[in-house]
Homo-oligomer: A and B are copies of this chain.
């Protein structure tokens, strides 16, 4: 179903070329000041057409908040919102209705529903994530009252990877360049790589790294809904994501216990800390108070500016002609989406943890 979360919930609707996208934020704690300019800024970060690297499709992505707010504060009732589609060129997609684009969702959706909405991929378009960014912005407004910050950045764009860890970067720098990499020199190499790939009519994937700071100890719900299991599902539910790891992730498979263990030490702040953070801030499925660090792998955008062989709806060989306006690398624009999904995950666990405590 199109709902994410247990106590803090986002339900979304809308297709790429329909009248509007939108959603309902349910479980927003009451009395929170709603900073509409902040929400607009978050949306602007996701917006296509921000730079020469991305699609030329332009969307204002102006959100209209319809309920749940009174005199600038949340009332605790659901917040309905819509984002109208303004730049709909349905004609661009008309002849796509007859073929299945490779590595797109055309074939699978058609088989699932028996219905095809070919306009820009319909519901499967990444345009759907606009609603997630709105939901995440609301979550961030709550989390900052607890001193919890969620940030993300591009750590790999195709063949170019940032070798440093987040500890060695100033994450604020990620927002100063088009690829959202916190190391300006690497950012420039990434940008050059993406431009080159684009010039070849091709695309590349990449990796987004997420960092969550200020977390209390104990968030997450055993045994199935571990913190990183729910966070992982949140990430894997983003378009084009094919992998998720927390802490040292897949590298831990080759490590020994004596290397990988995060030894507890008394902290100077009077709290217990770990000397290292191979675990990525989660042990036994619960946050341990260290920074949560995770990585999300994105496949390349499957729409190419070249013809591709495929089959048509009758199962016969056909060719997909290059169409539409697409990013050569979706990763920079995925950064705010990763943050949004992470923020909603954290807030939901925080509310669940509140529920447990007797008073």
Contacts and interface: CB of A to CB of B under 8 A. Distances in A.
Nearest to A300: B257
A49 interface: no
A27 interface: yes
A181 interface: no
A56 B160 CA distance: 47
Interface centre among A224, A247, A256, A285, by most B CB within 10 Å?
Answer: A224
B202 A257 contact: yes
A330 to B, nearest CB: 10
B237 A355 contact: no
A257 B304 contact: yes
B244 A243 contact: yes
Interface string A218-232: 111111111011101
Please state the number of chain copies in the assembly. 4
B286 A112 contact: yes
Interface string A24-61: 10110111000000000000000000000000000000
Interface in A223-278: 223-226, 228-230, 232-237, 242-250, 252-266, 270-272, 274, 278
Contacts of A352: 7, 355
A192 interface: no
A100 to B, nearest CB: 5
Nearest to A32: B358
Contacts of A115: 30-31, 70, 73-76
A142 B357 CA distance: 12
B19 A217 contact: no
Interface in A46-93: 64-68, 70, 73-80, 82
Contacts of A316: 266
16 contacts: A3-B9, A3-B26, A21-B80, A29-B356, A67-B123, A76-B356, A77-B122, A82-B82, A111-B289, A203-B257, A205-B254, A226-B237, A228-B242, A249-B297, A260-B299, A354-B357
